[in-house]
Amino acid sequence: MDGHSNIAAMMQTIGENAKEAATALAVASTEAKNSALREMAASLRNRKPEIMAENDKDMAAGAEKGLTTAMLDRLKLDEDRIEGVAAGLEAIAGLIDPVGSIESAWDRPNGLQIERVRVPLGVIGVIYESRPNVTADAGGLCLKAGNAAILRGGSESFYSSRAIMSCLSDGLRAANLPEHAIQLVPVTDRAAVGEMLRMTDYIDVIVPRGGKSLIQRVSDESKVPLFKHLEGLCHTYVHEAANPEMALDIVVNAKMRRTGICGAMENLLIDRAIASGQLTNLVNGLVAAGCEVRGDPESCALDSRIIAASAEDWDTEYLDSIVSVKQVDGIDDAISFIRKHGSDHTEAIITDDAATAETFVNNVDSAIVMINASTQFADGGEFGMGAEIGISTGKLHARGPVGVEQLTSMKYIVRGTGQTRP
């Protein structure tokens, strides 16, 4: 048997086991699921040294491969980040269980009683890169929503993800839930991804989470329905009625808090009417934080530290300490620019003018639109959803942060007393 056949057979076994586990999870009690999540959190805390030792292997390999500082930051696990992952699992345990909730109910004139009820999706495949915490976030969310999960992490985070997966398995065993409820694909071979994309008999939906090339491949090849998580080409628009101090705080945070996340600002828009008075102050803040600023000719003319932007810069998700600045002629011009260059992920406006803010909200068609807040809040955990698998930029079934509720579907339960249709 050749290597491809081996991987195909391995993935089929994983799929069969996931399907079996999903059947059990669909009727698992809330108490059992919550117990598993809390035991997972406890295991993560107990095994911190082991997890960090495995993460060191990934970090060393990443540095040798020449990963950017931002990518290494996404990969890094320390005690605080592991604690954050554990706390995230506990937060998921604290969420209301959506499974079995009656969304609506009504009676028909013929006496039939109809209910629309939330049910698990079944088996969810998650394909992701770099960030090992996704292993816990995705596994925990799928479990809470009654779904089995097949996780395929990136080669960069192989050892870290495997160590976290071991903690998740500890929790499943402690709660007497199926050990195959969450499975991590144990190889880095890209052929495993190809197999996942064709597993229509076993996987009900796939969530891709990563860079543009990964998303493109999954979108092109998948036979399984997707929750698309496209690149985060996020904009912050500083309107002429913006509070300057607020604008400075938000702009620097939106770009520099963590440059490697999908909610990081990549394009900064500023009204031409205030650029001469406020742009230098914004550049001061960005440069002081270690950011390279690129811009249009007008912005370059205002501040010598701004490097001339190319046409490609407006469409680039840097995931690095780089931002592009563009002057615009008011709200309509800003909206037009975002429509042309955005990825429908997250956009923000900074303004004290309520009417302009509402115009922005109503006319920007992104999954998340913010008023006077950093785009770095584009995160399911920050939305009170415990965690998220990703930000869906599609428009079917789920849009925005994909949390517990978004990992369920509906079925209709019809109760009768012997009715037959005439």
- Tell me, yes or no, whether 382 lies in a domain: no
Question: How do residues 99-118 score in pLDDT, each as one tens digit?
Answer: 999 999 999 999 999 999 99
Q: What's the pLDDT band for 3 if we cut at 50, 70, 90?
A: low
In this structure, are 216 and 243 located in the same domain? Answer: no
pLDDT, position 10:
97
- Tell me, yes or no, whether 392 lies in a domain: no
Give percent of the chain with pLDDT exceeding 70: 98
- Tell me, yes or no, whether 64 lies in a domain: yes
* Tally of structural domains, the chain: 2
pLDDT, position 385:
73
Q: By the 8 A CB rule, do 268 and 236 touch?
A: yes
- Tell me, yes or no, whether 190 lies in a domain: yes
| Distance from C-alpha of 284 to C-alpha of 278, rounded to nearest angstrom | 10
pLDDT, position 283:
98
Compute the average pLDDT of residues 307-323. 95
Q: By the 8 A CB rule, do 346 and 367 touch?
A: yes
Question: How do residues 399-421 score in pLDDT, each as one tens digit?
Answer: 877 888 889 999 999 999 998 89
- Tell me, yes or no, whether 118 lies in a domain: yes
In this structure, are 98 and 179 located in the same domain? Answer: yes
DSSP class of 265: E
- Tell me, yes or no, whether 255 lies in a domain: yes
E-assigned strand segments in 177-243: 182-184, 205-209, 234-238
pLDDT, position 4:
67
In this structure, are 206 and 254 located in the same domain? Answer: no
- Tell me, yes or no, whether 71 lies in a domain: yes
The CATH number of whichever domain residue 304 belongs to comes to: 3.40.309.10
The CATH number of whichever domain residue 221 belongs to comes to: 3.40.605.10
Give percent of the chain with pLDDT exceeding 90: 81
Compute the average pLDDT of residues 324-333. 98
Sign of CA dihedral 123, 128, 133, 137: negative
In this structure, are 135 and 30 located in the same domain? Answer: yes
pLDDT, position 263:
92
Question: How do residues 172-224 score in pLDDT, each as one tens digit?
Answer: 999 999 999 999 999 999 899 999 999 999 999 999 887 778 888 888 999 99
Q: By the 8 A CB rule, do 3 and 9 touch?
A: no
In this structure, are 160 and 12 located in the same domain? Answer: yes
Question: How do residues 137-166 score in pLDDT, each as one tens digit?
Answer: 999 999 999 999 999 998 999 999 999 999
Q: What are the angstrom distances between the C-alpha of 122 and each of 148, 356, 406?
A: 6, 43, 13
E-assigned strand segments in 37-177: 102-107, 113-120, 123-128, 148-152
Q: What's the pLDDT band for 390 if we cut at 50, 70, 90?
A: confident
pLDDT, position 323:
98
pLDDT at 362 over 90: yes
Taking Cα atoms as reference points, which of 136, 170, 183 lies closest to residue 43? 170
Question: How do residues 223-273 score in pLDDT, each as one tens digit?
Answer: 999 887 667 899 999 999 999 999 999 999 999 999 988 899 999 999 999
pLDDT, position 1:
43
Residue 277: domain span: 234-377
In this structure, are 287 and 338 located in the same domain? Answer: yes
In this structure, are 291 and 168 located in the same domain? Answer: no
- Tell me, yes or no, whether 389 lies in a domain: no
In this structure, are 11 and 159 located in the same domain? Answer: yes
Q: What is the dihedral of CA 135, 138, 141, 147, to 10 degrees?
A: -110
Give 176: exposed, middle or buried? Use CB within 10 Å, 0-12, 13-18, 19+.
exposed
pLDDT at 369 over 60: yes
Compute the average pLDDT of residues 331-335. 98
In this structure, are 204 and 141 located in the same domain? Answer: yes
For the ranges 33-47, 97-111, 201-215, 327-341, which has the lowest average pLDDT?
201-215
In this structure, are 309 and 410 located in the same domain? Answer: no
In this structure, are 245 and 347 located in the same domain? Answer: yes
**How many other C-beta atoms can be found within 10 angstroms of the C-beta atom of residue 240?**
17
Question: How do residues 66-89 score in pLDDT, each as one tens digit?
Answer: 998 878 988 999 999 999 999 999
In this structure, are 10 and 115 located in the same domain? Answer: yes
| Distance from C-alpha of 192 to C-alpha of 213, rounded to nearest angstrom | 16
pLDDT, the chain, mean: 93
| Distance from C-alpha of 274 to C-alpha of 359, rounded to nearest angstrom | 20
pLDDT at 29 over 90: yes
